[in-house]
């Protein structure tokens, strides 16, 4: 099992250290050739406009779309925006997941927050019962899911913060900033 982390910009090193902790081989992806031999890919948090522009500049858009047809991809925060079909803004997107997202949906940095989420799918898959502590930073919201995409987690008020479409995963929050490996383990199960 070898998982790549898109390393154009953002907190890719945090994802890599979490993957290493759970015994997964990793690789940094900056160019199309770096996708060879990977079983899955994580698109980290960062600035989605920066990541999108660099992906265009180094001809990564098409290879990433192709990769996502047959391999697991997980986007956290900026990565979730990049995976979506619609981000209501004029920026490069992969359009792999049939979800509509809204950037900076919770306000500015002073409004960024931490909270506990009950995520049934995750707790079932990892055989655990305690809630998942989620960290949101200038986070996007998943406004709606369409087609075969389904809701994985929502806040108490119903706003969607995690979605899954087959082997594709999107979270508004940052599991890589916690010490809880369950989301990474769950993603590995999708990549297997």
Partner 1 sequence: METKTGTWIEKKGLAQMLKGGVIMDVVNAEQAKIAEDAGACAVMALERVPADIRADGGVARMSDPDMILKIIDAVSIPVMAKCRIGHFVEAQILEAIGVDYIDESEVLTPADEEHHILKHNFKVPFVCGCRNIGEALRRIGEGAAMIRTKGEAGTGDVVEAVRHARTVIGAIRQLQTMGDEELMTFAKNNGAPYELVKEVKQTGRMPVVNFAAGGVATPADAALMMQLGVDGVFVGSGIFKSGDPARRAAAIVKAVTHYQDATILAEVSKNLGEAMVGRNVSQMPEGEKLAGRGW
CA dihedral (173, 174, 178, 179) positive or negative: positive
Which residue, 120 or 156, is less far from partner 1 as judged by CB? 156
Q: Which of residues 1-40 bind partner 1 (CB under 8 A)?
A: 7-14, 30
Distance separating alpha carbons of residues 54 and 77, to the nearest angstrom: 17
Beta strand ranges found along the chain (DSSP E): 2-6, 25-29, 40-43, 72-76, 84-86, 97-102, 113-117, 132-136, 141-145, 150-154, 160-165, 168-171
Among 114, 128, 130, 150, binds partner 1 (CB under 8 A): 114
Residue 134, Cβ neighbours under 10 Å: how many? 25
Per CB under 8 A, 170 contacts partner 1: no
Among 117, 119, 188, 191, binds partner 1 (CB under 8 A): 117
**Known catalytic residue at 77:** yes
145 three-class SS:
strand
Per CB under 8 A, 143 contacts partner 1: no
Element (H, E) at 123: helix 120-126
Among 116, 124, 130, 189, binds partner 1 (CB under 8 A): 116
**Known catalytic residue at 129:** no
| Contacting positions for partner 1 (CB under 8 A) | 7-14, 30, 45-47, 49-50, 53-54, 57, 77-78, 89, 103-104, 107-117, 135, 137-138, 155-156, 174, 177
Show which residues are catalytic: 77, 174, 176
């Amino acid at each position: 099992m070898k998982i790549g982390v898109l390393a154009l910009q953002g907190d890719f090193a945090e994802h890599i250290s979490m993957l290493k902790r759970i015994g997964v081989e990793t690789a940094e992806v900056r160019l199309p050739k770096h996708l060879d031999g990977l079983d899955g890919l994580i698109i980290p948090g960062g600035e989605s406009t920066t990541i999108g522009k660099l992906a265009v500049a180094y001809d990564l858009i098409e290879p990433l779309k192709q990769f996502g047809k047959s391999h697991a991809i997980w986007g956290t925060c900026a990565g979730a925006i990049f995976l979506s079909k619609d981000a209501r803004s004029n920026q490069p997107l992969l359009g792999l997941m049939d979800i509509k997202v809204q950037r900076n949906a919770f306000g500015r940095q002073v409004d960024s927050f931490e909270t506990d989420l009950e995520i049934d799918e995750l707790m079932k898959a990892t055989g655990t019962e305690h809630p998942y502590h989620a960290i949101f930073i200038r986070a996007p919201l998943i406004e709606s899911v369409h087609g075969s995409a389904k809701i994985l987690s929502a806040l108490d008020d119903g706003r969607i913060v995690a979605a899954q479409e087959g082997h594709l995963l999107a979270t508004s929050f940052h599991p890589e900033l916690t010490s809880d490996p369950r989301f990474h383990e769950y993603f590995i199960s999708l990549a297997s």
